[in-house]
């Protein structure tokens, strides 16, 4: 099942590593680490791994486990979805499933698109994306803090 999913987005990988999926994830891990101004060694300590393990993840040689991904989210202050290439998260909107506030938001966006130029729309989309990213990051941060609080009780 997972192979079919990764094949859909990255092509067949014949089970070998590095493959397109692990390389794409590794690039995202490296970018987040560099954005946080952390060395591989410091990140390794934060996620309870060796520096070589961080290097292997960044180079796509290994796939991080679920628990390692959660530790990466916490250490790098990124939502889980950040570590998966964006083409995996295309959302199809079924208008029958939208609540009234979502419908209103789409209505206003359509009105704006009629009366705005491309530059204004690009700016608006960037602002909405930034708000969504901020909200997602805050939710992930709270989740991670609660998770680590619970884990540290043991």
Q: Which two tokens stand for residue 5?
A: 């999913």
Q: Answer with the one of 90, 111, 129 that is the final residue of a domain.
A: 90
> Do 69 and 24 belong to one domain?
yes
Range among 57-66, 91-100, 134-143 with highest mean pLDDT value: 57-66
46, 76 Cβ separation under 8 angstroms = no
> Do 63 and 129 belong to one domain?
no
Q: Answer with the one of 90, 119, 138 that is the final residue of a domain.
A: 90
Q: What is the C-alpha separation between 101 and 107, in angstroms, rounded? A: 10
Those residues whose C-beta lies under 8 Å from the C-beta of residue 46, and which sit 6 or more positions away, are 38, 71, 74, 75
**Residue span of the structural domain in which 132 resides:** 93-154
pLDDT digits (tens, 9 = 90+) for 63-114: 999 899 999 999 999 888 888 766 555 566 677 788 888 888 888 888 887 8
Q: Answer with the one of 62, 90, 118 that is the final residue of a domain.
A: 90
Domain count, the chain: 2
Neighbours of 35 (CB within 10 A): 11
> Do 65 and 100 belong to one domain?
no
> Do 79 and 10 belong to one domain?
yes
């Amino acid at each position: 099942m997972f192979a079919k999913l990764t094949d859909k987005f990255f092509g067949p990988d014949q089970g070998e590593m590095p493959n397109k999926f692990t390389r794409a994830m590794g690039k995202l891990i490296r970018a987040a680490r560099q954005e946080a101004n952390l060395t591989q060694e410091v990140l390794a300590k934060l996620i309870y791994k060796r520096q070589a393990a961080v290097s292997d993840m960044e180079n796509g040689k290994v796939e991080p486990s679920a628990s390692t991904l959660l530790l990466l989210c916490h250490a790098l202050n990124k939502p889980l979805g950040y570590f998966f290439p964006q083409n995996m998260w295309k959302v199809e909107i079924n208008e029958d499933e939208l609540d009234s506030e979502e419908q209103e938001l789409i209505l206003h966006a359509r009105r704006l698109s009629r009366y705005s130029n491309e530059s204004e729309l690009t700016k608006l989309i960037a602002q909405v994306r930034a708000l969504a990213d901020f909200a997602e990051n805050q939710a992930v941060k709270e989740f991670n803090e609660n998770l680590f609080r619970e884990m540290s009780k043991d």
